[in-house]
Amino acid sequence: MKVVMPEFDGRIIGPVVGFRQQGGNGNSTSESESRSIALADRLRACVDLASRHSVLGRKPNAEKRLALVLTNFANRHGRIGSAVGLDTPASVINLLRGLRERGYHVGEIPADGAALMEELIARGGYDREFLTEQQMRFATASYTAGTYEKWFSQFPTGNQAALEASWGAPPGAVFRREDDIYVAGKLYGNVFVMIQPPRGFGENPLAVYHSGDLIPTHHYLGAYRWLRDVFRADAIVQCGKHGTLEWLQGKGLGLSEECYPELAIGDLPVFYPFIINDPGEGTQAKRRMHACIIDHLIPPMTQAETYDELARLQQLLGTYANAERIDPEKLPLIQQEIWDAVVAANLHQDLGVEAQPEDAAYGEFIQHIDGYLCEIGDLQIRDGLHVLGQMPGGDQLINLALAQPEFFGGVSVYSGLRYESPKTALTGDGSVSYFFSSTGAKLRAHAGSGYRAPAIFERFGSSYFNGVFSPFGDPRLNPDLESRFQIQRPGQSRLGRELHRVDERPSQYEVLREGGEHFRPGILRKRVPHAGRGFHRRYGLRF
């Protein structure tokens, strides 16, 4: 509770500063008979982190120094900035422009994302097949072997021993040219765009990237220490899901000074644009690197349509449903046609059915097919990547709206479109896809007629983009948005806040349901006077 509830409030997760100790007899487990015991080093770490955030609120933007860190999967040039669902190069360009508009000292910004990647790769990178001695010699960022040895001497003795056992004597041999150790990136004024250093090496890049046991290299820790102690960054921005810092060895929660995420970044504030549909890994970043998560929109989505044989099967299911009600004598013929279509599509193997079911079991068989087709026909596929601060347009916007679980509620309130679930909307050609295509046509008609756009369109607006910048000046998140306890008005984005997760198992307890029933009247009395047309008649947790 002392961790989850602050996360629900959107607070930044800092170090654990103390624990509860049992009473004097050593046997009591009662909260009232125990006392709090502070840990001096954790208190210092918490104060240092709070001080850093306080400095961000008071320091002029023109003087702030930021590091924008790009993901670097498999240490290949072609995988730099390959964040999940995010066009990272284009998003970094938007970030640089947004920073300059807000008074940050940003040098000449590349024309677009492709130009940014060309400039970064021209400076080197960590693809050892292409990295040259000349690139390391004229690097923007580097530190000496002696400098790292000083940092290394400040590490806990256990970490020193583990690092030497894994990677040899400091500062190691990777990305080293004589006495200098290379850090990949390019400086744009007071903003350093850095390629995240490799956390290790091996034949399986995926295992290296996610391993919870692999000790990071001397070079990895040195690159982050360079950001903090040489470049003197005021904050780090990890550009998209996901980097490797939150996967380093150490505790999952309540990190100590011996945990490698803290060993790397110390008290540096971290801000993390993170895809909104993965609160699990986002929570890990919050808990293991005190990251302030700024959730961003998923990529534009579209509907995957079924191929011809399955489309024919969908039509037959509609015919079967009609015959069941008005012409049962035709059912045996339709059943045979359905089975022939199932076999023609090799669907019987996927369904685990070897022979045509008997009449008594055919209804259950039909439901099985229907569920399978819904999974395939409603499969959401990406239609490009999201760009921070950029709203989808045209058909991408329509398809993204159709892909949202909460889309229909917004439409019914704000655009007058009536919601029907796909299972009850089998009109027209009798297919689920007809429902989506017809609803999409209605949305296009509303958007083109000047009628008030559905609320979900407004939620896709770029106002949440400001959430990326607001923490740089104030640790609070999106102070311009209303409290999470108040009504969300049309036009206000639901994005740009700290995402959180909840353990659904306790929600099954009867006592919680009874508690919800107790508080429901008071909640409704508070919300209804402010809701107007935007009042939703149903509430719930979505897992």
Number of separate domains in the chain: 2
Among candidate residues 296, 325, 340, the one where a domain is terminated: 296
Residues 226 and 339 in one domain: no
- Nearest by Cα to 180 from 132, 146, 229: 146
SS3 track for 101-168: HCCCCCCCCCCCHHHHHHHHHHCCCCCCCCCCHHHHHCCCEEEEHHHHHHHHHCCCHHHHHHHHHHHC
Q: What is the token pair recorded at 508?
A: 């099954």
For CA atoms 274, 141, 153, 168, the dihedral sign is: positive
Residues 362 and 257 in one domain: no
Task: Tell me what pLDDT residue 491 has.
Answer: 35
Residues 314 and 291 in one domain: no
Residue 373's SS3 state is helix
> Which residues touch 181 (CB under 8 Å, ≥6 apart)?
142, 143, 144, 145, 148, 171, 175, 219, 222
Task: Tell me what pLDDT residue 471 has.
Answer: 67
Q: Where would I find the beta strands (DSSP E) of 163-246? A: 176-177, 180-183, 185-188, 191-195, 235-239
The most distant pair of C-alpha atoms in the chain lies apart, rounded to whole Å, by 89
Q: Is residue 153 part of a domain?
A: yes
Residues 239 and 289 in one domain: yes
Task: Tell me what pLDDT residue 200 has.
Answer: 83
Q: Is residue 213 part of a domain?
A: yes
Q: Is residue 192 part of a domain?
A: yes
What is the C-alpha to C-alpha distance for residues 195 and 212, in angstroms, rounded to an integer? 21
Q: What is the token pair recorded at 157?
A: 């003795």
Among candidate residues 377, 397, 419, the one where a domain is terminated: 377
Residues 118 and 199 in one domain: yes
DSSP 80: B
Residues 323 and 247 in one domain: no
Burial (CB count within 10 angstroms: exposed 0-12, middle 13-18, buried 19+), residue 447: middle
Q: What is the token pair recorded at 4?
A: 């989850």
Among candidate residues 296, 326, 357, the one where a domain is terminated: 296
Low-confidence ranges of the chain (pLDDT < 70): 1-11, 23-33, 202-207, 210, 302-309, 311, 322, 325, 374-383, 401-468, 470-516, 523-543
Residue type, 278: D
Residues 81 and 210 in one domain: yes
Residues 245 and 369 in one domain: no
Answer for the pair 220, 264: CB distance below 8 angstroms, yes or no. Answer: yes
Residues 313 and 355 in one domain: yes
- Nearest by Cα to 412 from 233, 251, 537, 227: 537
Answer for the pair 299, 306: CB distance below 8 angstroms, yes or no. Answer: no
Looking at the DSSP bridge assignments, the partners of residue 68 are: 193, 237
Residues 172 and 311 in one domain: no
Residue type, 495: L
∠ CA 430-435-438, nearest 5°, is: 115
- Tell me the chain's radius of gyration from C-alpha atoms: 28
Count other Cβ atoms within 10 Å, centred on residue 286: 28
Residues 70 and 219 in one domain: yes
Q: Is residue 392 part of a domain?
A: no
Q: Is residue 216 part of a domain?
A: yes
196-208 residue pLDDT tens: 999 888 666 666 7
Q: Is residue 446 part of a domain?
A: no
- Nearest by Cα to 403 from 125, 119, 85: 85
What is the C-alpha to C-alpha distance for residues 391 and 470, in angstroms, rounded to an integer? 19
Task: Tell me what pLDDT residue 302 has.
Answer: 66
DSSP 251: -
Complete DSSP assignment for 16-60: --EEEE--TTS----GGG-EEEE-HHHHHHHHHHHHHHHHHHHS-
Residues 149 and 111 in one domain: yes
What is the C-alpha to C-alpha distance for residues 195 and 219, in angstroms, rounded to an integer? 13
Q: What is the token pair recorded at 265?
A: 């970044």
Q: What is the token pair recorded at 63?
A: 């003087």
β-strand 180-183 against 301-303: which pairing, if any? unpaired
**pTM higher than 0.85 for the full model?**
no
Q: Is residue 478 part of a domain?
A: no
> Cis before residue 479, ω within 30 degrees of 0?
no
DSSP 517: H
> Which residues touch 156 (CB under 8 Å, ≥6 apart)?
257, 258
- Nearest by Cα to 13 from 468, 503, 477, 505: 477
Q: Supply the range of the domain harboring residue 321.
A: 305-377
